[in-house]
């Protein structure tokens, strides 16, 4: 069991952390984008199609942020 917490598995831990971070980060980014769109254009301008577009955009941003953060964090954590 102790072998799982070695530097050999840092990429597996980084992938697991990225997966765990993806959904909450995507939701946070999406909520901020929808609120900004409502503030800029009014509540009528943000329909279901616009929300879906913003959710896809938030998903891409969230995936990139989660991957970069988790790989960076695991590199620091398992540095020799």
pLDDT category of residue 64 using cuts at 50, 70 and 90: very high
pLDDT at residue 80 in the model: 67
* CA pair distance 4, 62, nearest whole angstrom: 27
pLDDT at residue 1, as a whole number: 77
Tens digit of each residue's pLDDT (9 = 90 or more) over 17-61 = 999 999 999 999 999 999 999 999 888 888 999 999 999 999 999
pLDDT of amino acid 13:
94
pTM of the complete model? 0.84
Q: Any idea where the domains of the chain sit in the sequence?
A: 14-36+47-80
């Amino acid at each position: 069991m102790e072998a799982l917490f070695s530097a050999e598995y840092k990429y597996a831990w980084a992938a697991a952390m990225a997966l765990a971070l993806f959904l909450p980060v995507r939701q946070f980014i999406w909520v901020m984008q929808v609120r900004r769109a409502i503030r800029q254009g009014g509540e009528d301008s943000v329909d279901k199609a616009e929300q879906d577009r913003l959710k896809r955009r938030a998903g891409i941003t969230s995936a990139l942020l989660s991957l970069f953060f988790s790989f960076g964090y695991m590199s620091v954590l398992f540095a020799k």
